[in-house]
Structure 1
Amino acid sequence: MRRPRRVAAVAVAALATTLLAATSPAAAGRPASGDVHPALRPHLVASYDFDHPVAGDPALERDQGRSGTEIELVNGGAAMRVPDRAYPGSGRALQTRQVAPDATGNDDWKAGTWSASGVRTLRPFAATGGATVMGWFKREMDGPAPNSTTADPTDRYNAIGLAGLLTGDSDGHGVRALLELIDVNGELRLVALGRRVDGGASQTFAASEDWRTLLPKGTWVHLAATFDFTRGTMALYRDGRPVDGFYTTAGDPWQLSGPGPHVTSATDPRGIKIGGSFPQDTLERNPCDCRMDGLMFLDTVVPARDVAAQYRLMSR
């Protein structure tokens, strides 16, 4: 679901598209599939390298996966594509950030798509036994941003949003599969957060290592999170290697004790959120002053060997 944008902004963005087309790797003929390991290609539902603006509307980014799910660069449009190389062959990266920390509004730079009826092109994530979210991330902030939705100037959000897939009943915040940094028992941690059943409880797998070590400021890092909804397990990876961690919720939050098959709700996800919540731009939550590139959303649990293979392929 897209918001109307000012005509002037569209005109400026169109000029930016012309410049981008002349300088991007895509214009030079680099096939997107060259950045995807063969083992991942059949499961790559959506993928974004931020070198493929939609013709005539550069505030939209074309999907390099099989689903054709366009995403919007919310509030910043084409200006959110910045020259930065997350990996060899990369051209531009996505810049997300909080714009006005002292004012209530909806101006944060983030990306994604949202539909109240569900995004049909994301149907592979309905009734699925597994999912994977991965990509390159560069942190440019020292902690969660000021909470612009409250009057308290000392209040801060409890999380930093990276990238995730929404549930079939999401208001723009609730997720089926998410990579983020969030407060766990008073400490910010890198986590994979998943929810199998719409409206049900989530489970979180939190990295044991300090988040600042896993995501050094100003450094590109490749992260991946896998979600096995059938077995009730998750995993985190950094630069192709597994990250030690722990589950934060005891018991059976994914409701796996009953008869199977144990898959996600048979609903189309309401969208994708990147760099913060509410891609429909109705509210601000958990902004990320970050750069991102090579984002991938897969409808399977990518095994450790293939996560490593994908990292090696992109960083060669």
Structure 2
Amino acid sequence: MSRARRAAAATAALLVAGVVAGAGAPPAQADPDRPRDVHPHLRSHLVAYYDFDHPVEGDVALERDQGRSGTEIELVNGGAAMRVPDRAYKRSGDALQTRQVNPAQAGNDDWKAGIFSASGVRTLRAFSGVEGTTVMGWFKLEMDQPALNSTTANPTDRFNAIGLAGVLTGDSDGHGVRALLELIDVNGELRLVALGRRLDGGNSQMFAAGEDWRTLLPKGQWVHLAATFDFTTGAMALYRNGQPVDGFYTRTGDPWLVSGPGPHVTTASDPRGIKIGGSFPQDTLERNPCDCRMDGLMFLDSVVSASDVEKQYRYMAR
């Protein structure tokens, strides 16, 4: 079955489930004591969680969600081969391998992961009209600069970013995001950033790390990263191995339009999906591929406090 047909089938199945359970019924709640590698303080806000140790029975190219939403993601182009034995933390099993496959060809064969639906992903409704979001996980980069741009004729042209993980907007083409961790060119210099957008079709804002990205993400080393997005105030933050990262906002003014009367939340639309290791999880275009490994990816519907980010890091790294 093609990805488009699979996405359509998944959406239809969700709609049927909604009719059976009641149109307004929320997704089934996860066991409050699970998953074991998530600190208890975070579990009630854990919408989606992927440890890449839980393939879907009958289709190993899909990964089961260990959060409360039940949002399966696809391991695009590489399937089961993208699960590799590598320990990001003590109780880790497999990790996700993403990579650029053929930089000289304008094709759609890069290894990446995620889910996409043009009508919105119902199970990700927790990120609709939400006050805050957190994206966190373990990352190990195996690249020194952004990948060669496979979409242009210039053999030396490179993409301007390295995609890590994020939640798409409700009107995304597979690239635009509400909340994203990535490395991107900021005034001619690659930087680790939290990139957020409160309103569909609105302006984005970035909080960029001041420290050199190669120091924050040494090649070949596992690092725990977190980004928080407070859509009520416009505040964002980055964390590395449980500690805050100093940085700066890349836009002045009020790009999220939070200075007027509130409440200020994201657009009330279901996100069109999740992207991991590059853009366009529907596999229609290649952009910002990441030659890296990832594990323990968490997407939460709140702004996790600095103390809880540290607790989560220590909980996994203990």
Same fold (TM over 0.5): yes
Equivalent position amino acid for 1:185 in 2: N
Indicate the residue corresponding to 1:2 in structure 2. 3
Distance (Å, rounded) in 1 between the aligned partners of 2:170 and 2:193? 21
CA contact (8 A) 1:2 1:113 kept: no
Q: 1:230 aligns with which of 232, 240, 243?
A: 232
Three-state SS of the structure 2 residue aligned to 1:35 is coil
Equivalent position amino acid for 1:48 in 2: Y
- Structure 1 residue 257 corresponds to structure 2 residue 234: no
Q: 1:293 aligns with which of 283, 291, 295?
A: 295
Q: 2:151 aligns with which of 149, 152, 171?
A: 149
The percent identity for this pair of structures is 81
Three-state SS of the structure 2 residue aligned to 1:277 is coil
Equivalent position amino acid for 1:138 in 2: K
Equivalent position amino acid for 1:313 in 2: Y
Equivalent position amino acid for 1:177 in 2: A
Q: 2:315 aligns with which of 289, 313, 316?
A: 313
Distance (Å, rounded) in 2 between the aligned partners of 1:157 and 1:75? 20
CA contact (8 A) 1:229 1:264 kept: yes
How big is the shift at 1:259?
1.7
Distance (Å, rounded) in 2 between the aligned partners of 1:268 and 1:37? 27
Indicate the residue corresponding to 1:55 in structure 2. 57
Distance (Å, rounded) in 2 between the aligned partners of 1:242 and 1:203? 18
How big is the shift at 1:4?
6.3
Distance (Å, rounded) in 1 between the aligned partners of 2:36 and 2:180? 25
Q: Which runs of 4+ in 1 moved over 3 A?
A: none
Indicate the residue corresponding to 2:192 in structure 1. 190
Equivalent position amino acid for 2:74 in 1: E
Distance (Å, rounded) in 1 between the aligned partners of 2:157 and 2:95? 30
Equivalent position amino acid for 1:77 in 2: G
Distance (Å, rounded) in 1 between the aligned partners of 2:107 and 2:177? 23
After TM superposition, list the pairs within 5 Å mapping 1:154-303 onto structure 2.
Answer: 154-303=156-305
Indicate the residue corresponding to 1:134 in structure 2. 136
| Structure 2, unpaired ranges of 5+ | 7-32
Q: 1:81 aligns with which of 63, 80, 83?
A: 83
| Structure 1, unpaired ranges of 5+ | 6-30
Q: Deviations over 1:122-166 (max 9, x none)?
A: 000000000000000000011100000000011000000000000
Indicate the residue corresponding to 2:110 in structure 1. 108
Equivalent position amino acid for 2:249 in 1: Y
Distance (Å, rounded) in 1 between the aligned partners of 2:311 and 2:228? 15
Indicate the residue corresponding to 1:23 in structure 2. none
How big is the shift at 1:66?
0.1
Q: Deviations over 1:232-276 (max 9, x none)?
A: 000000000000000000100001122211000000000000000
Three-state SS of the structure 2 residue aligned to 1:72 is strand
Indicate the residue corresponding to 1:119 in structure 2. 121
Indicate the residue corresponding to 2:45 in structure 1. 43
Distance (Å, rounded) in 1 between the aligned partners of 2:281 and 2:215? 29
RMSD: 1.1
Distance (Å, rounded) in 1 between the aligned partners of 2:79 and 2:177? 24
Aligned length: 291
Distance (Å, rounded) in 2 between the aligned partners of 1:259 and 1:225? 26
Distance (Å, rounded) in 2 between the aligned partners of 1:218 and 1:297? 24
Distance (Å, rounded) in 2 between the aligned partners of 1:166 and 1:268? 9
Three-state SS of the structure 1 residue aligned to 2:313 is helix
Distance (Å, rounded) in 2 between the aligned partners of 1:155 and 1:248? 24
Distance (Å, rounded) in 2 between the aligned partners of 1:55 and 1:297? 23
Distance (Å, rounded) in 1 between the aligned partners of 2:259 and 2:235? 14
TM-score normalised to structure 2 length: 0.90
Distance (Å, rounded) in 1 between the aligned partners of 2:44 and 2:3? 29
Distance (Å, rounded) in 2 between the aligned partners of 1:91 and 1:148? 32
Three-state SS of the structure 1 residue aligned to 2:41 is coil
CA contact (8 A) 1:111 1:275 kept: yes
How big is the shift at 1:2?
2.6
